[in-house]
A and B are shown apart, each in its own frame.
Chain A
Amino acid sequence: MNPLAKPFVQFFTSLRVTVILLALSLVLVFLATLDQVNLGVWAVQQKYFRSLFVMVHVPGTPVSVPVFPGGYLIGGLLLVNLAAAHAYRFRLGWRKAGIWLAHLGLILLLLGELFTGLLQRDGVMRLDQGATKNYSESALKTELAILDTTDPKFDSVVAIPESALQAMGTLQHPALPFTVRTVLYFPNSVLQMRSRIPNAAPSPADQGFGPELVALPEKITYKPDEQNTPTVFVELTGAEGRIGTWLVSTLLVEPQTFSYQGRSWSLALRPTRYYQPFSISLIKFSHDRYAGTDIPKNFSSRVRLRSEDGRVDREVLIYMNNPLRYGGLTFYQAGFENNDRTSILQVVRNPSWAMPYASCALIALGLVIQFGIHLAGFFRKRAAAAAAIP
């Protein structure tokens, strides 16, 4: 072996590293559980588990420093450790088949969580009775949607994620004849009518609804029953110069429209949309209660599923624990509102959803085989010992 690689290999195949990593992951889970009080489950997942390092903000500075290895680092190192131990230490052979299978299952389990973290996408589809949608919306992310609405049949959409606006830079896209610059960004805010706050500072916005409104920053909320409502002031600049500054906010329900170079445009900050090549219509939402009480018994949505190519057109009943799986997405009955006339479906894309099942099956199979081999050996020995007795 290359003498340079030797300490590296020794480190990664070391059982001591395995134990240290497992101990670190215990501490990580403990710390994250404590911090869940402050951050809520979503932010904790991102900060502690779906990160290489747990970063802590240094008060008074814009700097964050790593204070603890994150879930991806610990999990990744465990994975490398496990793979390296197999590559260097274990030997292939029938007698070890069970151990191999169990470890393969463990590796799959780790990879499954990695893929889930990277590929899973959660969204919400909110459908009024009779309404049809071909997109779901993110519950956590927002985007600035700039629509060219000139075509009578189609809208050309340029969607800028909030994270790109947050960088406060100037953004350009080939589909837009102007640049977009973030003037002011509030991750959470409230809006007030300017007439109610006579002493408010002048608005950076000079177009649309903005001049009549005052945006007030709010503390970012992590509470599970609250939602951040960002407000952004964006300045659009074309080839001939500045077009104007707009206030966009998820608090504004309606998009703001303007004309530029003979085309009609509309601007809105909205939950990030995920379009899909099929549509879902809500035929009926049912909310059954136990007789004489308000205690919910069952929620269900009868929906019509239609694919764009017309090959699929069928009715589906979605209810608790009976989701609709179609096109790589899973639609769960999640809630309702509006006097039982609006159904809320949780829409999950997780291409690796089957991996935990497969890995658990592999681990179980591996253990059965391994113990089976030992048991068979034990019986053989006993039979041999019995035969040896004169």
Chain B
Amino acid sequence: MASHCRLRLILLLTAGLLLAGCGDSRISAYRVPKEAPFTPPSAARSGASAPAIRWQTPPGWQEQAGDGVRQASFVVAGADGAQADMSVITFPGDVGGDLANVNRWRGQVQLPPIGEPELPKSLERVAGPAGEFLVVDLLSDGPVPEGGRRVRLFGAILKQPAQTWFFKLMGEADLVASQRNAFLGFLQSVRFTPGAGEPPVATPERIANTNDLPASARGVPAAGSLAQGGLPPGHPPIDGASVAPDMAAQPVATAAGQALVWTAPSDWTPKAGSAMRKGSYAVSGPEGAADLSITAFPGDVGGDLANVNRWRGQLQLPPVAALEGSAETLEVNGLRLLVFDAGNGGSRILGAIVPRPGETWFFKLTGPDALVARAKPAFLEFLHTVRAP
């Protein structure tokens, strides 16, 4: 009897284990409270449709339509056609630090860069409801551009944990000076939308991870071509170009630095620039097409050696310890150009690095080895047309 009991127990255990292997794929139905309205990440990235920042426009300031970079834009008109431009911009991170930012602004009014020791003297701290602003007042030594008028720049930097806000009023010196109180009043009126916590900024989906979760669980972007998020409301995606640029991965373009000018050969086709590019050309030939990009970034972007090694890295070449042999210096129109030329694995990069006050310009021609090598004389000739206005 007891043995029957035991036998049954074992049979039951075996059957139970076999049944346990069956999976479950049933349809489920339930009710949930409505979620908050869908906010597409793309809108939050540009900040265009959902500004978390609020302000009061001072009298006499005319608000302009913002663009992809500017959160807000104003024009202040004075007597006899004098004008000043006010911009509100935000970028992730600290954008190179206070010194780089101040020197970028100094470059815009043609003042020489300052060093760290002079920095505290040129900054005024102004407390407001939105936080502490670092305010600078910069007056050009001479007319900008030549033959024009002297220029004044009021700038304010507001640092938040994840991003930095820049407020800049720049224009004819007397007009800007007369707007000092309006500018400071504007800063005092800045508020960030309650509940939004921190304002939206251009941030890519970046993952850093800390344990052995499956990557999918960590939110690693999908294998598909479309990056996570990035769909405007009511509109389908999907192409590489529609995805916001990876802003955190590279330094930020100066929004209104004093541009270099150049003349491109007629057989180079201008391309639509992006927010990151100051200029963009296609150079084509029987070997294919090469891309010339012109960009500018605040600060020295790590220095000449780091930049040369970054380009070498893009060609999968090992880094070098010194510039000798990898780049040569060219003096053009009072500018010092560091010219780089290297190829590997069928690709070639022909580039020039141009340090400017507070920023660095990059001219880079990338493409098939043969095509870029053939375009080198044209590229060098092109570099000779580059000048500061």
B-binding residues in A (CB < 8 A): 1-2, 5, 8-9, 12, 41-42, 51-52, 72, 76, 79-80, 83-84, 87-88, 114, 118, 122, 124, 126, 129-130, 139-140, 149, 152-161, 163-164, 171, 173-175, 188-193, 196, 209, 212-213, 218, 221, 223-229, 250-255, 275, 296, 299, 320, 332-341, 344, 346
Q: In whole Å, how far is B221's beta carbon from the nearest beta carbon of chain A?
A: 8
Task: Give Cα A326 to B40, complex, Å.
Answer: 31
Partner of B219, one of A124, A149, A163, A189: A124
Which residues of the other chain, B, contact A9 by a CB distance below 8 angstroms?
3, 7
11 pairs, CB–CB < 8 Å, chain A vs chain B: A2-B7, A76-B17, A87-B9, A129-B197, A130-B197, A154-B33, A154-B34, A156-B30, A218-B223, A227-B220, A335-B207
Counting CB contacts under 8 A, is B318 at the interface?
no
Which residues of the other chain, B, contact A80 by a CB distance below 8 angstroms?
10, 13-14, 17
Q: In whole Å, how far is B225's beta carbon from the nearest beta carbon of chain A?
A: 4
Known: A193-B239, A218-B223. A334 touches B30 (CB 8 A): no
- A254 to B40, Cβ gap below 8 A? yes
What are the 7 closest A-B residue pairs judged by CB atoms, nearest first?
A: A139-B217, A76-B17, A209-B236, A229-B224, A163-B25, A227-B216, A225-B215
- A251 to B238, Cβ gap below 8 A? yes
Q: In whole Å, how far is A293's beta carbon from the nearest beta carbon of chain B?
A: 13
Task: Give Cα A163 to B23, complex, Å.
Answer: 10
B180-205 interface bits toward A, Cβ cutoff 8 Å, 1 = contact, 0 = none: 00000000000000011110010101
- B20 to A158, Cβ gap below 8 A? no
Task: Give Cα A130 to B239, complex, Å.
Answer: 31
- A334 to B218, Cβ gap below 8 A? yes
- A333 to B210, Cβ gap below 8 A? yes
Task: Give Cα A299 to B209, complex, Å.
Answer: 10
A interface: dominant SS: mixed
A sample of 7 more A-B contacts (CB under 8 A), given A80-B14, A335-B210, is A155-B35, A158-B27, A164-B26, A193-B237, A224-B214, A226-B215, A227-B221
Partner of A52, one of B4, B21, B27, B233: B21
- B225 to A338, Cβ gap below 8 A? no
Counting CB contacts under 8 A, is B245 at the interface?
no
Partner of B248, one of A124, A250, A339: A339
Counting CB contacts under 8 A, is B65 at the interface?
no
Counting CB contacts under 8 A, is B208 at the interface?
yes
- A213 to B92, Cβ gap below 8 A? no
- B231 to A253, Cβ gap below 8 A? yes
Task: Give Cα A318 to B92, complex, Å.
Answer: 26
Task: Give Cα A155 to B27, complex, Å.
Answer: 16
Which residues of the other chain, A, contact B25 by a CB distance below 8 angstroms?
161, 163-164
- B226 to A251, Cβ gap below 8 A? yes
Residue in B10, B92, B197, B208 whose Cβ sees the most chain A Cβ within 10 Å: B10
Known: A1-B3, A227-B216, A254-B40. A155 touches B31 (CB 8 A): yes
Which residues of the other chain, A, contact B32 by a CB distance below 8 angstroms?
154-155, 157, 275
Q: In whole Å, how far is B262's beta carbon from the nearest beta carbon of chain A?
A: 32
Which residues of the other chain, A, contact B239 by a CB distance below 8 angstroms?
192-193, 196
Known: A153-B34, A155-B32, A335-B210. A226 touches B223 (CB 8 A): yes
- B17 to A190, Cβ gap below 8 A? no
Task: Give Cα A226 to B228, complex, Å.
Answer: 12
- B203 to A252, Cβ gap below 8 A? no
B interface: dominant SS: loop
Which residues of the other chain, A, contact B35 by a CB distance below 8 angstroms?
155
Known: A114-B17, A213-B238. A190 touches B224 (CB 8 A): yes
- A339 to B209, Cβ gap below 8 A? no
Known: A159-B28, A218-B223. A346 touches B17 (CB 8 A): no
Partner of A335, one of B20, B92, B213, B237: B213
A175 — nearest CB in chain B belongs to which residue? B29
- A2 to B4, Cβ gap below 8 A? yes
- A118 to B41, Cβ gap below 8 A? no
Counting CB contacts under 8 A, is B6 at the interface?
yes
Q: In whole Å, how far is B111's beta carbon from the nearest beta carbon of chain A?
A: 31
A135 — nearest CB in chain B belongs to which residue? B32
Which residues of the other chain, B, contact A299 by a CB distance below 8 angstroms?
210
- B27 to A171, Cβ gap below 8 A? yes
Partner of A87, one of B10, B30, B237: B10
B352-389 interface bits toward A, Cβ cutoff 8 Å, 1 = contact, 0 = none: 00000000000000000000000000000000000000
Known: A164-B25, A339-B92. A79 touches B17 (CB 8 A): yes
Task: Give Cα A42 to B213, complex, Å.
Answer: 11
Task: Give Cα A303 to B368, complex, Å.
Answer: 53
- A191 to B225, Cβ gap below 8 A? yes
- B18 to A52, Cβ gap below 8 A? yes
Counting CB contacts under 8 A, is B230 at the interface?
yes
Task: Give Cα A366 to B216, complex, Å.
Answer: 42
CB contacts under 8 Å to A, within B231-275, are 231, 233-234, 236-239, 248
Which residues of the other chain, B, contact A336 by a CB distance below 8 angstroms?
207-208
Known: A157-B31, A252-B231. A341 touches B224 (CB 8 A): no
- A253 to B41, Cβ gap below 8 A? yes
Counting CB contacts under 8 A, is B277 at the interface?
no
A137 — nearest CB in chain B belongs to which residue? B217
Task: Give Cα A130 to B52, complex, Å.
Answer: 14
Known: A190-B225, A334-B210. A156 touches B215 (CB 8 A): no
Which residues of the other chain, B, contact A83 by a CB distance below 8 angstroms?
9-10, 13
Known: A139-B214, A173-B27, A213-B236. A344 touches B229 (CB 8 A): no
Partner of A339, one of B162, B211, B226: B162
- A161 to B18, Cβ gap below 8 A? no
- B4 to A173, Cβ gap below 8 A? no
- B236 to A252, Cβ gap below 8 A? yes
- A227 to B222, Cβ gap below 8 A? yes
- A152 to B231, Cβ gap below 8 A? no
- B34 to A156, Cβ gap below 8 A? no
Partner of B14, one of A42, A76, A149: A76
Q: In whole Å, how far is B188's beta carbon from the nearest beta carbon of chain A?
A: 25
